[in-house]
Amino acid sequence: NRSARFALTGASGYIAPRHMKAIGDSGGQLIAALDPFDSVGILDSYSPDTEFFTQAEEFEKYLHQLRRDGQGIDYLSICSPNYLHDPHIRMALRSGADALCEKPIVLHPEDIDALKELEQETGQRVWTILQLRVHPALVALKERLDAEFAADPGLKKDVELSYVTGRGNWYMRSWKNRLEQSGGLATNIGVHFFDMLVWFFGDMQRLEVHERSETLVSGYLELERARVKWMLSIDTDYVPAELAAQGQRTYRSITVGGEEIEFSGGFTDLHTEVYKRTVAGQGFSLDDTRPAIEIVSQIRNLDLTQPSNETAHPLIG
């Protein structure tokens, strides 16, 4: 069994080292990397033999050459900005590789349909990183919930979700704050927790957006088995005072039927876990990710609603 062969786009960025580590830790090899920005010395820490390109055309040519020589790559890991995911996934599939793409897989639900057609045409697959689905505290919660729902199929839970993850001033000036490049706050960061919610509680039935700014988005979501008051912010003012006093800039908390599960910690090796599953053929697919992409795309476009006592999130006035 030869080790899985990877290439990677977005090699100089923030998240790429986690992929480089996951490739090594899951027994793979990083053959080639692309980034127009050449501050990529990090490669020496993981795989100094990796070929590096700053031009997409040359990178793609190299992938095709490898394939002709019978040494094609098996996966293209995609760590580029969100609006480039779709074209980079296409580059992967046309190069005879599967794509293993960061979240959000694409910005628009229609793009998923088009990519499914391309999967059919090429016989390659598209996988994504949904690392909350392998977070130990959340996997344990999912198992408990599944057992409860099996015992009482009509059960609907009351849920509060707070997701605060502080970002510095740079965020506002980067592609991450440009709607057409990142999809905006709910898409770029919220996609993690909306995916978790549909994974726990089933399909969307009703959605309201109460607040939507560059730093805060909140609303109400009804799913098959839950009523959810949700809020997401990159403003550390929303970190509860006692945690902020300890210097904490992150607060991720879900309360299900009055019981709180805090999952701010335990994030470090989740990418490696997703890589292991993907290489074993058990990764997260386009169909897995579609419900969350639909929700975040609606959050971008829905008119704002006035919250009521039943729908208002307690942290939002």
Contact residues for ligand NAD, defined by CB under 6 A: 9-10, 12-16, 34-37, 56, 79-82, 84, 102-103, 129, 131, 188
| Pairing outcome for strands 259-262 and 250-256 | antiparallel
CB 21, min distance to ligand NAD, A: 13
- Find tokens 């965020």 and name the residue: 171
CA 82 – CA 102 distance, rounded (Å): 8
**Based on CB atoms, which residue is closest to ligand NAD, 103 or 290?**
103
Q: Which residue is nearest to ligand NAD (CB)?
A: 13
CB 18, min distance to ligand NAD, A: 8
CB 286, min distance to ligand NAD, A: 16
The radius of gyration of the chain's CA atoms, rounded to the nearest angstrom, is: 20
Mark 248-274 as b/e (b = at least 16 C-beta within 10 Å). eeebbbbbbeeeeeebbeeeeebbbbb
**Based on CB atoms, which residue is closest to ligand NAD, 2 or 14?**
14
Per the CB < 8 A criterion, the answer to whether 138 and 113 are in contact is no
Per the CB < 8 A criterion, the answer to whether 164 and 252 are in contact is yes
CB 306, min distance to ligand NAD, A: 31
CB 20, min distance to ligand NAD, A: 12
**Based on CB atoms, which residue is closest to ligand NAD, 15 or 118?**
15
**Based on CB atoms, which residue is closest to ligand NAD, 9 or 289?**
9
**Based on CB atoms, which residue is closest to ligand NAD, 35 or 98?**
35
The closest alpha carbon to 209, from 110, 314, 312, 293, belongs to: 312
**Based on CB atoms, which residue is closest to ligand NAD, 12 or 272?**
12
CB 186, min distance to ligand NAD, A: 13
- Find tokens 């050459």 and name the residue: 65
CA 232 – CA 213 distance, rounded (Å): 10
